[in-house]
């Protein structure tokens, strides 16, 4: 499933391509999955495009009455928002097509898990946790959030009611960079460890965004290209290989039914 960097990548790439353009026509190609009211979408101007948690939000303003609405997209496993030109004969998994006054963009989804909704308010998609890239989070607040928690730190980082957008790949990479053992209880994390986790969370997410996210199987950005950050992963999916710092064999354990990769020497 796309994590924060992948969703941010799509939003950033989509914005300059569709901003200030008018949706002239919305064509639903999968009426069983997509139940959008096209009458409310057509003749709306795209006022903004941004990420909200793991949602991509497209602000729409009706060109006739000025009413504002929000087109919200959650990519889930295989959803894609694309702005590149397509041969419709090869668009087997096309779900929605948005024709603009200049150009077009598409919602494609192979496994049909993605969600696309037209909302009058963002209340239902507001994340419960804090965005790790927002100014609301610092090392002190992160440490306080962990206090008294018996849950292991790897699983805690995946909790969307705590931090929004972190997934399995980045949680393993962050803890490796911070030299924190993934099995340690979150409540036992020291302030210095929390500071290191905070710093590396920011650094890793920003570097991944710069490299258009991570692709192992399905993720493609808004231009139909795969991400490049998998080239920089230090532990994820490297079980049995040597740690690039100390040479110790990378291990894999299962926590809450998710694979965790770590170096038992660097992360004692």
**Catalytic (active-site) positions:** 2-3, 54, 258
Yes or no: say if 171 and 154 are a contact pair by the CB < 8 Å rule. yes
Q: Token pair of 191, please?
A: 């302030």
Yes or no: say if 267 and 260 are a contact pair by the CB < 8 Å rule. no
User: What is the four-CA torsion angle of 221, 223, 225, 226, rounded to 10 degrees?
Assistant: -10
Q: How far is CA 4 from CA 57, 83, 131, 260, in A?
A: 14, 20, 9, 18
Neighbours of 112 (CB within 10 A): 15
Q: From 111, 121, 138, select the one nearest 52 (Cα to Cα).
A: 121
Q: From 90, 75, 64, select the one nearest 9 (Cα to Cα).
A: 75
94-100 vs 258-262, strand pairing mode: unpaired
Strand partners, 46: 60
Q: From 144, 187, 171, 202, select the one nearest 267 (Cα to Cα).
A: 171
* Residue bearing tokens 């009706």: 62
Q: How far is CA 71 from CA 10, 58, 131, 137, 240, in A?
A: 15, 5, 20, 27, 44
């Amino acid at each position: 499933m796309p994590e924060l960097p992948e969703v941010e990548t799509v939003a950033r790439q989509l914005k300059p391509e569709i901003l200030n353009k008018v949706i002239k026509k919305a064509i639903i190609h999968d009426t069983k999955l997509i139940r959008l009211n096209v009458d409310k979408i057509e003749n709306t101007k795209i006022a903004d495009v941004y990420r909200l948690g793991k949602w991509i939000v497209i602000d729409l303003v009706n060109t006739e009455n000025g009413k504002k609405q929000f087109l919200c997209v959650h990519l889930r496993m295989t959803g894609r928002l694309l702005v590149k030109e397509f041969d419709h004969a090869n668009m087997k998994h096309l779900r929605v097509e948005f024709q603009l006054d200049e150009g077009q963009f598409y919602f494609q989804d192979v496994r049909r898990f993605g969600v696309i909704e037209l909302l009058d308010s963002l209340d239902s998609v507001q994340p419960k946790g804090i965005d790790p890239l927002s100014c609301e989070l610092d090392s002190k607040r992160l440490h306080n959030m962990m206090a008294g928690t018996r849950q292991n730190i790897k699983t805690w980082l995946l909790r969307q009611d705590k931090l929004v957008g972190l997934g399995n790949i980045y949680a393993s990479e962050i803890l490796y960079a911070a030299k924190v053992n993934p099995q340690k209880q979150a409540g036992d994390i020291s302030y210095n460890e929390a500071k290191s986790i905070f710093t590396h969370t920011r650094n890793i997410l920003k570097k991944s965004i710069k490299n258009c996210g991570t692709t192992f199987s399905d993720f493609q950005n808004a231009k139909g290209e795969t991400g490049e950050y998998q080239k920089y992963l230090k532990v994820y999916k490297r079980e049995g290989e040597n740690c690039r710092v100390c040479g110790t064999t990378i291990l894999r354990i299962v926590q809450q039914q998710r694979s965790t990769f770590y170096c038992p020497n660097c992360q004692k």
